[in-house]
Every structure is written in C-alpha cells, then in structure tokens.
Structure 1
Amino acid sequence: MDTEKYILLGKTQDELKQWLKAQSLPAFMSSQLMDWIYVKRVRSFDEMTNISLKHRAFLKEHASLGLADPVACAVSKDGTKKYLFATASGIGIEAVYIPDRDRATLCVSSQVGCKMHCAFCMTGRMGYKASLAAHEILNQVLSIEDSTSLTNLVFMGMGEPCDNIEAVLAAIRLLTDEKAFAWSPKRITLSSIGLLPGLKRVLEETSVHIAISLHSPDALQRKEWIPAQKAYPISDILQTLKAYDFSHQRRLSFEYIMFDGMNDSLA
C-alpha cells in the first residue's frame, strides 16, 4: 500500500467529494467510489467499470484503496480464526473471527499495542506503538475471507478504543452509514476501561452498545489492575453512564475476569 497516495477507504462521501474537487474530478464519482468500496467491496480500480478509463488511470496514480490482505490466519478447532495484519510500525495487529451458530462476530483492534498497561492484558505488556487510522480498522472488516458472513463487530481487540477516538468514531460512522456498510449500530459493541473523554463522545455521537471493563468493584484493587482507574475512577464512570438512556435497545454490559482468590468472593 502506497502511503503517499490518498487513501480512499475510511473516507465519507463528503470527504471523497472534497478530494475529487481538489483534483478537478467530477463530484458524482464520490457516490460511485462509495458503492465500489463499501457495497461491492472491489479490490482494484480496474473493477470500477462505471468510472471512465481516464479517471481510473488517475485514481491508480494518485489514490489507494487502502486495502491490505492479512499476512497470516490461525484456525482453531471450534472455527475461530485469528487474522494477523501488518502495520507501518512493523508490528502486527490481530482481528479475531468468532463463529457461533447463526452469528459471526469480528473482534477488531484499534491500536498497535496499548498505553493502559492493564495487569491482565498481553497487549498492555507490549507498550504503545501506534494508533490505527480509520482505514486500518475497516480493512480488518473488509479483508478477512469471512467478511460477508459477519453479523456483529466488537472493538475488543488490541488497544483502547477511547484512546484512539477520532479514528474509531470515523470507522463507526462508516459502518453505520447507509451509503457504506449500512450496519445497524446494534450490531456493534465498543469495549473500554472507561477513558471518560472518549467514552462520552461514543455515548453522544453513536448508538453502539457499550461494554465497560470492570474486573473489580473495589476501587483500590481495580487501580492495581487497571492504572487508568486513578484518573478515571469507576465511580465517575458509573455516574457518567447513568446520564445516558439505555432503555431503547442500546445495551450496557460490564466485563469481569474472575481470578481465583482475588475477585471471586461476595465479600
């Protein structure tokens, strides 16, 4: 993928219009590009047959679809597939495909590594390397072999989504855009340890489900496992959540890993 070219994946129709206008290309091409990229899901400009050869040649020279195939895929006995994607940082990211009867969920990454350093998380031990752009998040959806069978998507992979809020929101907007993926927000869940600035934006600007990484109701214990508890106490997170309406099919859940003898008692 040529990073010097304008990357089309991850752009809204308005953003595509602005770029096309700057290139002296017709604005109506924006709707064609949206259809080819997000609906028909082509992987080359040559497949865009309702765009003139002249304009396709221009796109090849000055733009990139922003798509990249996974470099590896590990398959478990239960059908779960772990896809590995290369990144500019030189460190790969993972997307996990989870089949379950009539459902198929994709767990996507939002960062390379993570700043949060949660004690129970392998990604946190890597340290933070980079945040993914919107097209790198959406590429995980479009470039797995099971893409068309997906019913649900969860932001629960590598990284803290609310620490990369602009790219994550841009990806969610396109996932729920009728001119792009046209998914219902009820098919999407965002998991967060509760970084309030980003979490508030997700609550205000989207209707996706929310999952809070809790793991302990005890503030001191939670701070040992999740250092961000110091800046964003669970009490503040709960107070924020109470201000939003979860009565109209929007789901709020709490994630809890039980550790023997540590957070598994009623006391």
Structure 2
Amino acid sequence: MEQHEIRRPLLGMTLAELETVAAEAGLRKFAAKQIARRLYVNRARSIDEMTELPKASREWLSEHYCVGLQAPIKASRSADGTVKYLFATRGEDFDFLTSGKGGRDVEAVYIPDRDRATLCVSSQAGCKMGCKFCMTGRQGFHGDLTAAGIINQIFAIPESSTLTNLVFMGMGEPMDNIDEVLKALEVLTAPWGLAWSPKRITVSSIGKLDSLRRLLDETKVHVAISVHSPFPAERESLMPIEKAFPVTRVMEFLRDYDFAHQRRLSAEYIMWGGVNDDMCHADALGRLLRGLDCRVNLIRFHAIPGFEHQTASTAVMERFRDRLNELGVTATIRASRGEDIEAACGMLSGESAGETH
C-alpha cells in the first residue's frame, strides 16, 4: 500500500455495510456486529483494537479500510463555554466528501447549557441554497459530507462522551444530502450503533419536500423548519428556495404528520429589526402555523459582512413572542451563544479559507 493511499473509513457504516465488509474479509456475518460494537460503543481508534477478529482479518482490514477518526484542525472557545470546531474534509489519506470540489473545511459547535450538552453538526461543505443572511451560503457548494464525515464531528471532539443532544443545523442543507444524513441517523439511533433516542436529535431544513418526506417516514427525529418570514415575496428575497418550495406548501405537507407524540416540530425564525419583527409578521406567522403542533424559536441574528439587516432588539423580540403566545403558538427566544468566536455559521471556515470578514 502506498504511504498516502486513501482507505475507506469504517466509521459511519451501517450494519448492512459492515456485513459486506466482513464478507470481504472472509469473516462470518456476526463479525459485523463485533466491528460495530468496537466502532460505536468502545470507540476504537484503530482496527488493531478489534481483538475479537482473527489477526489475519485485522491485517486485511487495515490494508483496505481505516476507522476514519480525524481530529479537528482548529477550535475556538467562547467565554460562555461554547466551542466551535473546524474539520478538514479531505487530507492526504482521507476523504469525507461523496461529491463536490472540496477545498472547504466544515464546522461543528459544542454548546453546554446546565444539564444539556448539544453539538451542532454540518452535513455539507458549503451550501447550494444561497440564503442571503447565511455566511455558509455565500461560500457556495463544495461537497456533500459522507456519513463518516458527519459521525466524525461527533466522535472526534473531547466532549463526545458527554453529549446529550444533537442538531443538524450547521453548514449545509441536510435534505440536500439525505442519503448520507439518513445513514448517520441510523448509526446514531440503531441498537447496534449509539442507540440514542431519536428525541435527542433535531434535523433542520428549508423544506425540500421530497427529502423531507423520507426523513419523516424513515426516522423519528425532531424536525425544525427555517421560516424567517411568513410572506412569500419577502421570504424569497431572503431565501431563494421559497420559489421551489413555498413555506405555505411545506406547512400544509407537515399537517399530514403527527407531531404531538412521536416527535417535535419547530419553526426557526431569525429576527431582523424593522424587517420581519412587527405584529403584522407575528399575526401572519400565527396563521401560517394554525392547526400545527409547532413551537417557534425566535433567534437573534449574528451579523455577517455584506448583509445590511441587524438583529431585532430584545424588547421587540419579547413583544413578538408574547403576541405569538396570545395566538396560541408556543414561542421562545433562543439564548444567544458564542458571539465572541465567529458565531455565525460559516465564519470560521471562511476565515480558514482566507476570506475576509
């Protein structure tokens, strides 16, 4: 084997894929569960640690595969305990992209909050959606992350074993990389994997309906929809995807699913002063969500270069929240975290790529 030959990572593989690997190595089918246990329960860092397997099989596996763990290349720590990690997507001996040109690192953000420890993970390098207020969208699309690249963000940080919750709200649109996201979710929730409850995981989306249907049908994770304006023309000016997937159609589609017991539905709503923060918007948002068991997360905007809007004031956000609650829509203001460490998604990777901000 050449010194820098890229071997396929075992990390992120489903049990069915590991059964194929076991067969290739001349192992019986049950060896796949042994490999899975070493990967996802024991957190093995090398194939040599899989001592249940015969030495010859371990040697063969080491020639063709690797565990696939890659440490973050940078960490920025906030005074409030938040940590933003930067991960390479390609190196001399690894590749965490299924497609795309590469050349862009990805971010994951660790957010401790009393008895909760949440990790916000990325599903793509860059993004195709082009939302005007998103630093990641400004960077363009650089590739889809493999399930290994997604799971690596969870396993490679020092706080990995203390995580209580996971949100797919980092770089990229998860529904635009649905195959790999679903594989990662299977690893996270399956009994042979991490065996997490789906209630510990939230996946965010702009509302790409074909993939969203698969997520809802094939998993029980919580779902968050990026709304940001209840008015179609205004939303399209901020989020071009509104033209292909109008938010009214997305919400109508979601009414066919039960969010009262199996999972939680939330609407993400970034608030900009003098733009989408008046009572007219609150009332329209209430009408948009009527009949849905949906809570609203009101979000302070982390300013990015070249975007003219600024975050709404706390007093205005509180009035907006109170109005939604009066309308029977549960609304809360999300606590702002990590503002001193390039908090807006995409800022750290942009800095790493040499972009100014």
With the shorter chain as reference, the TM-score category is over 0.9
Q: C-alpha separation between the residues in 2 aligned to 1:2 and 1:79?
A: 37
- Structure 1 moving runs of 4+ over 6 Å: none
> Structure 1: which amino acid aligns with 2:111?
I
Q: Secondary structure at the match of 1:232?
A: coil
Q: TM-score when scaled to structure 2? A: 0.73
Q: Which residue of 2 aligns with 1:58?
A: 60
Deviation at 1:6, TM superposition (A): 3.1
Deviation at 1:249, TM superposition (A): 4.5
Q: TM-score when scaled to structure 1? A: 0.97
Deviation at 1:50, TM superposition (A): 2.1
1:194 matched to 2:207: yes
1:83-118 deviations in Å (ceiling 9; x for gaps): 110012231100000000000000000000000000
Q: C-alpha separation between the residues in 1 aligned to 2:269 and 2:125?
A: 24
> Structure 1: which amino acid aligns with 2:233?
L
Q: C-alpha separation between the residues in 2 aligned to 1:125 and 1:96?
A: 19
1:224 matched to 2:241: no
Compared CA separation, residues 23 and 205, structure 1 to 2 (3 A): same
- State percent identity of aligned pairs: 53
Q: Which residue of 2 aligns with 1:34?
A: 36
Q: Which residue of 1 aligns with 2:316?
A: none
Q: Secondary structure at the match of 2:172?
A: coil
Compared CA separation, residues 20 and 232, structure 1 to 2 (3 A): same
Q: C-alpha separation between the residues in 1 aligned to 2:123 and 2:83?
A: 18
Say which of 48, 51, 55 aligns to 1:49. 51
Mean Cα deviation higher: 14-23 or 139-148 = 14-23
> Structure 2: which amino acid aligns with 1:92?
D
Q: C-alpha separation between the residues in 2 aligned to 1:117 and 1:26?
A: 47
Q: Which residue of 2 aligns with 1:107?
A: 120
Q: C-alpha separation between the residues in 2 aligned to 1:20 and 1:121?
A: 43
Q: Which residue of 2 aligns with 1:137?
A: 150
Compared CA separation, residues 122 and 220, structure 1 to 2 (3 A): same
> Structure 2: which amino acid aligns with 1:94?
E
Q: Secondary structure at the match of 1:154?
A: strand
Q: C-alpha separation between the residues in 1 aligned to 2:117 and 2:256?
A: 32
Q: C-alpha separation between the residues in 1 aligned to 2:218 and 2:28?
A: 31
Compared CA separation, residues 97 and 3, structure 1 to 2 (3 A): farther
Deviation at 1:137, TM superposition (A): 0.3
Write out aligned runs for 1:6-17 (5 A). Answer: 6-17=8-19
Compared CA separation, residues 78 and 168, structure 1 to 2 (3 A): same
1:155 matched to 2:157: no
Deviation at 1:3, TM superposition (A): 6.7
Q: Which residue of 2 aligns with 1:237?
A: 250
Deviation at 1:255, TM superposition (A): 0.5
Say which of 25, 28, 31 aligns to 2:27. 25
Contact 1:2 1:64 in 2 (8 A): no
1:137-174 deviations in Å (ceiling 9; x for gaps): 00101111000000000000000000000000111111
> Structure 2: which amino acid aligns with 1:128?
F
> Structure 2: which amino acid aligns with 1:76?
S
1:262 matched to 2:275: yes
Deviation at 1:5, TM superposition (A): 2.3
Kindly name which structure, 1 or 2, has the bigger radius of gyration based on alpha carbons. Answer: 2
Q: Which residue of 1 aligns with 2:343?
A: none
Contact 1:161 1:191 in 2 (8 A): yes
Contact 2:25 2:60 in 1 (8 A): no
Q: C-alpha separation between the residues in 1 aligned to 2:121 and 2:157?
A: 11
